[in-house]
Amino acid sequence: MDSKKRRITRQRFVVEQKHRCCYCGRVFGPKGSLLEATIEHLKPLADGGSNRQENLAAACRHCNQHRGRQMQSSRFRGF
């Protein structure tokens, strides 16, 4: 996915999720911070997940980096 499409996709998820992380529910912060919005694969690509919209959500950088394979998509808050 090119950077423009990635930015548009991320912004769409941020708005749909009311500017909150899909895992912790914190309001997204400025670029470069641990609360910066990132695109998260709910089911990791390594586990057979896809890049389809249904498998993507916006997560803060902290949750995305610390999620690893431990968190399950059942923790997804859904907005």
pLDDT in tens, 6-64: 888 899 999 999 999 999 999 999 988 889 999 999 898 988 999 999 999 999 999 99
Grade residue 2 by pLDDT with cuts at 50, 70 and 90. confident
Measured CA to CA, the distance from residue 40 to residue 36 in angstroms comes to: 12
**DSSP 8-state class, residue 24:** T
pLDDT of residue 5: 87
At 15 the pLDDT is 94
Q: Which helix (H) or strand (E) holds 62?
A: helix 61-67
Q: How many CB atoms lie within 10 A of CB 69?
A: 8
* pLDDT at 3 (0 to 100): 85
Nearest of 40, 43, 42 to residue 65 by alpha carbon: 40
What pTM does this model have? 0.77
Q: What is the pLDDT of residue 27?
A: 96
